[in-house]
Amino acid sequence: MSENYDAGSIQVLEGLEAVRKRPGMYLGDPHDGSALHHCIWEVVDNSVDEHLAGFNDVVEVVLNADHSLSVRDYGRGIPVDKHEEFGISAAEVIMTKLHAGGKFDNSSYKVSGGLHGVGVSAVNAVSEWMEVEIHRDGTVYKQRFEAGVRVSELEKIGTCNDTGTIISFKPDRSIFTNIVEFDFDQIDSRLKETSFLNAGLKIIITDERAEEPHSVEHHYAGGISEFVKQINARRETLHPDPILISGEKEIEKGPVSIELALQWSDAFSETIQCYTNIIRNKDG
């Protein structure tokens, strides 16, 4: 450590460099697996937001044989037109700029999972590589990044009859240590919960790392009522169906809606699980 402390000692971390330097500030602990899996939640939650906006009913998650992971949705597709302020595509802005997204007002999303706009750009920063493929307006676009830095332009690579976004990334093992492999059971448990919270959303998880790939599908039309039934599956319930209460109130910044499911059982203790914008409130 140098004894000199002057202007030359002051560092300014630009763009995604700060995320690579201190990933724990953005994604969680990079050593115990929490940040590794949080990368998945950030990407998946963007696809879920398209469901909440009414444009997507299926999310596909694939654990690839090369230890990368892909998330596919059938929403509107990330915008590809040029962003006026930055002079690059809106897709590249979303992938490389912190606090960038369409969730800071009610014009694009009335409800979304989280509102800070850090998500996918932070995942890009801590990835060895990330590729985004966009199906929009009959055209397929693709762009690649390495360590959060663009290595190719957003290119047209074909045509399509569908819409949606595919994001694939491989975590950078120079950042993640100790736990560097995705845990299928943890992913399955978290995304099962996500499917319950979004009635009608189908989430398909496929693990292609073994010799024989296997898939799990979650699709719950009953939403949180079905969730409560599952929680009480091994208990003696006092009434057969959960009580469902829902309502909405208009406030200055738009509508606020609430949904509540209740069911009494013979359990000695109560179970209360609370979520805001589909994100679990760990402390109630």
Residue after which a domain boundary falls, among 172, 197, 219: 219
Domain that holds residue 207: 17-219
pLDDT at 119: 80
Contact 40, 187 (CB under 8 A): yes
> 30-44, 95-109, 223-237 — which is least confidently predicted?
95-109
Residue-level pLDDT at 103? 53
- Residue at 196 is within a domain: yes
In this structure, which amino acid lies at residue 106? N
How many C-beta atoms surround the C-beta of residue 25 within 10 A?
A: 11
Q: Are residues 32 and 49 in the same domain?
A: yes
Q: What percent of the chain has pLDDT over 90?
A: 77
On whether both 212 and 229 belong to a single domain, the answer is no
Q: Which of 169, 192, 219 is the last residue of a domain?
A: 219
Residue-level pLDDT at 37: 96
5 belongs to a structural domain: no
Nearest to 136 by CA among 172, 89, 100, 182: 89
Distance of CA 28 to the CA centre of its chain: 14
Average pLDDT score, the chain: 89
Res 108: pLDDT: 53
Q: Are the C-beta atoms of residues 213 and 207 closer than 8 Å to each other?
A: yes
What burial class does residue 244 get, using C-beta atoms within 10 Å of its C-beta: 0-12 exposed, 13-18 middle, 19+ buried? Answer: middle
Least confident stretch, 59-68, 80-89, 195-204? 80-89
DSSP-derived secondary structure for 170-182: EE-TTT--S--S-
| DSSP class of 265 | B
| 104 pLDDT tier (thresholds 50, 70, 90) | very low
- My answer on whether 228 and 182 are in the same domain is no
Mean pLDDT of 251-266: 92
Examine the domain organization and report whether 88 and 43 are in the same domain.
Answer: yes
Q: 173 and 33, same structural domain?
A: yes
H helix intervals, 110-262: 119-125, 184-197, 223-231
Using the predicted structure, report yes or no on whether residue 171 has a pLDDT greater than 80: yes
Q: Is residue 1 part of a domain?
A: no
| Residue 207 lies inside a defined structural domain of this protein | yes
Angle at 39 between CA 36 and CA 40, to 5 degrees: 105
pLDDT tens readout for residues 52-65: 899 999 999 999 99
Same domain, 50 and 76: yes
pLDDT of 112: 56
Place of tokens 């399509």: 160
Q: Are residues 192 and 247 in the same domain?
A: no
Q: Is residue 7 part of a domain?
A: no
Number of H helices, E strands in the chain: 6, 13
First vs last C-alpha separation in the chain: 44
The pLDDT, as a whole number, for residue 18 is 87
Residue 3 placed within a domain = no
H-type alpha helices, the chain: 17-21, 34-52, 90-96, 119-125, 184-197, 223-231
Give me the DSSP letters along 234-248: TS-BSSSS-EEEEEE
* pLDDT at residue number 15: 72
Both 79 and 194 in one domain: the answer is yes
Query: What does the radius of gyration of the chain's CA atoms come to, in whole angstroms?
Result: 21
pLDDT band for 115, please (50, 70, 90 cuts).
Answer: very low
Write out pLDDT tens, residues 141-167. Answer: 999 999 999 999 999 999 999 999 999
Pairing state of beta strands 254-262 and 275-276?
unpaired
Give Cα 83 distance to the centre of its chain: 23
Task: Give the tokens for residue 55.
Answer: 């444009």
Indicate if 51 and 186 belong to the same structural domain: yes
Place of tokens 């169906």: 241
Same domain, 154 and 229: no
Q: Are residues 178 and 262 in the same domain?
A: no
- Is the whole model's pTM more than 0.85, yes or no? yes
pLDDT tens digit string along 242-256? 999 999 999 988 889
H/E run at residue 131: strand 127-136
Residue 10 lies in a domain: no
* Main-chain dihedrals φ then ψ at residue 189, nearest 5 degrees: -65, -45
Number of domains in the chain: 2
Over residues 172-189, the pLDDT tens digits come to 999 999 999 999 999 999
Q: Flag whether 11 is in a domain.
A: no
Same domain, 231 and 208: no
**Residue at which a domain ends, from 191, 219, 247:** 219
Displacement of CA 121 from its chain's centroid (Å): 11
Average pLDDT of span 73-100? 91
